[in-house]
Amino acid sequence: MTRQSGTIKDGQSLVERIQALLDDPAHGNNPLRSLLEEVNDHILGQNQRMERLLRISDGYQLLEHNQTLTLAERCEKQLRRMEKLARISDQYQRNLWEVTETLRQAANQDSLTGLANRRFLMERIKEETQRATRKDSLLAIALMDVDHFKQINDRFGHEVGDVALCEIAGAVRQGVRRYDVYGRWGGEEFLLMLPDTGRDEAVMVLERIRQTIADLAVGDESPIRLSASIGVTLLRHGEDIDDALKRADDALFQAKREGRNRLVVAA
């Protein structure tokens, strides 16, 4: 007998032939029908028993092969299996970490400039505000807006506008300190939080950024100089962050009204 598809080949052929006869309505009243059903059930039972014997035989052969190995060989074989499983597990953990990190960055990072996005900044505003209140420390909050950004888009197109935003993001990244918090607040507007920073020091940091931006230009033909207006304020003790942001925003608009490319400190 040969083993095929989990049954005995010859037996399977006979079963199929008998089953075809039993399924044929023309033989529904045949006096041999009940006998054929018994024969069919018997063949199926024999096939199942043979399958079990074959599985037992396969397992026995594997067991017999393993028993011919020495204890050291069996230990070595098991160790190799465990090392393989460990490598698979390590790779899975690395892949999982990479996917998680990628998703985390995508959720917190502005896709164009690479800076923190508004979602991340909102979380950090809360953290920095609570920290400043708890420690009774200074926190400078600044809003910066790119001057004449619509003209850049209208004159050179949105691709050059995107380049301008990336250049300005680089100037911000270059000008801030290691512990400052900054990112793209939306559109052509940026938010900067300077922890443990008083008025004069905040002005120094922000002026450095403003001057760096003023040295930038975009556009291949007849390039246009970039500039930015900035409004900054200090968080007052116990103040709601929305009030501080409103004050910084008012200072920003004052800088725009006074000619742009300047920094205004809210009173």
Handedness of CA 207, 211, 212, 214 (dihedral sign): positive
161 Cβ contact partners less than 8 Å away, ≥ 6 residues apart: 149, 152, 153
List, in sequence order, the alpha helices (H) in 30-148: 33-67, 71-108, 118-135
Q: Which tokens sit at 129?
A: 């505000």
- Assess whether 188 carries a catalytic annotation: yes
Contact 174, 215 (CB under 8 A): no
**Whole-angstrom distance, CA of residue 181 vs CA of residue 117:** 11
DSSP-assigned beta bridge partners for residue 233: 141
DSSP letter for 27, please.
G
Contact 108, 117 (CB under 8 A): yes
Catalytic residue among 101, 188, 207, 239: 188
Contact 205, 177 (CB under 8 A): yes
Contact 226, 151 (CB under 8 A): no
Task: Report, as residue numbers or ranges, the catalytic residues.
Answer: 188
